[in-house]
Amino acid sequence: MKTYLVGGAVRDDLLNLPVKEKDWVVVGGTPEAMIAQGFKAVGKDFPVFLHPDTGEEYALARLERKVAPGYRGFVTEFSSTVTLEEDLKRRDLTINAMAQDDDGQIIDPYGGQVDLVQRQLRHVSDAFVEDPVRILRVARFLARFAPLGFEVARETQALMRQMIANGEAKALVPERVWRELERLLCADAPSDGLLVLQDCNAWSVLLPELPEGQFPPAIFTALKNAAQQGASGPARFSILLQPLTDKGISDCCARWRVPNEYRELVELLKRMQSQLHTAAVALADTQHSLPVTQAVATQALAILEAADAFRRPERFLSLLEAYHALEENTKGAATLCRHLAQALTSTRAIKLTPQDTKHLQGAALGQALHQKRLQALQAPPSDP
């Protein structure tokens, strides 16, 4: 029984990147032998074990055979006779199909090291077509590694187009689509990954709500801005879905089972983008000195209240991130975002005192709090 470090840990170490987690393959092993050494079995579809001390995953070397469409349409075969090279061959990309032994020697039967040097994302074998999730994984890896100069190999891009044309992507499980897409969007170069999917016509299947299966160039530009600004995942996702109708957004989020924080921000940006744009233009054209004019303060407070910023401040800041990335070239957009963030900071802690509420009830309480916040926004800044 021999153990090898495999996959992303080997790849990232060769790229001089931090290794965040380690996966291992055990060649010549059996479930009984692993359990006898204290490993804990956790795999459902194939034998995976947790190391008793490190908690790292150790999988028995295995083969996979396609027997039905889709992500789950595989029969996994494992035995002590499966070789390391056979196990590595079932992987998606050559740069992920390398191993390292106990002596630090790299086992690279499919040219992963050459592709690292040449900055190519290339499929290992024709078995790539058997799992449509790999289309999304290629896009995700490009979104991560494009800043290092990586590209998708021509033959791999052609194979992905063929898979889409043959209907392979129709078997994708929605939850897997969302899982891969979320990781793609949160990478350093999300636009690069999304463009790869567009190039192979994947959006026509993944997002039928998208007009003509094409994102406008402005969306890719906005996502580049969002990545450069370090915007949150929900902010980036809200940018992505802006070309969709309200019904399209609802249908897409339901199908992918998108978390509520993502879905709510998409809907909020869709609802408020026009109001924010109007405020940005007005603010850019307003020449005023401190204290701010009542009109500017009133406008800021109206936006804060409409966006439920006082109850959901983190969501509001993500809204500003998304709007700023979308309208970076709009005069006044950056100023508006700073102004609104400051307005939230200066008003979110304001409360009504017992004296304020002494003779008030019902709607009058809300109006009193509104007025107190408005006064705070109009007040000149205190001396340091």
Hey, which of 17-31, 41-55, 111-125, 276-290 has the most confident mean pLDDT? 111-125
pLDDT in tens, 135-175: 999 999 999 999 999 999 999 999 999 999 999 888 888 88
Confirm if 121 and 145 have CB atoms less than 8 A apart: yes
Task: Give the CA radius of gyration of the chain.
Answer: 26
Q: What is the mean pLDDT of residues 78-99?
A: 93
The pair of three-digit structure tokens given for residue 191, joined into one six-digit string: 């636009």
Instruction: Give the chain's end-to-end CA distance (angstroms, integer).
Output: 69
* Rounded Cα distance, 95 and 122, in Å: 8
Instruction: Identify the pLDDT of residue 89.
Output: 94
pLDDT bracket for residue 118 (50, 70, 90): very high
Which candidate, 145, 138, 170, places its Cα nearest to that of 71? 170
Cα-based distances in Å from 67 to 74, 77, 377 = 6, 12, 65
3-state secondary structure at position 18: coil
Whether residue 334 contacts residue 343, with contact meaning beta carbons closer than 8 Å, is answered with no
pLDDT at 116 over 80: yes
The pLDDT assigned to 310 comes to 95
Of residues 224 and 371, the one with the higher pLDDT is 224
Backbone angles phi, psi at 228, to 5 degrees: -65, -30
Contacts with 384 (C-beta within 8 Å, 6 or more apart), sequence order? none
pLDDT of residue 45: 63
pTM: 0.88
Residue spans per domain, the chain:
1-118, 275-378
pLDDT above 50 for 181? yes
Fold type of domain 1-118: Beta Polymerase; domain 2 (3.30.460)
Report the DSSP beta bridge partners of residue 23.
6, 57
Please say if the pLDDT value at position 243 is more than 70: yes
**pLDDT attached to residue 383:** 45
Task: Give me 127's structure tokens.
Answer: 């078995």
pLDDT, one tens digit per residue, over 324-352 is: 999 998 888 999 999 999 999 989 888 87
**373/194: higher pLDDT:** 194
Residue 384 buriedness (CB in 10 A; 0-12 / 13-18 / 19+):
exposed
Q: At which residue do the structure tokens 């004019």 appear?
A: 293
Going by pLDDT thresholds of 50, 70 and 90, the confidence category of residue 356 is: low
pLDDT tier for residue 290 given thresholds of 50, 70 and 90: very low
Could you tell me what percent of the chain has a pLDDT over 90?
71
pLDDT above 70 for 289: no
- DSSP state, residue 382: P
Q: What distance in Å separates the CA atoms of residue 52 and residue 38, rounded to the nearest whole number?
A: 6
Residue 70 in this model has a pLDDT that exceeds 70: no
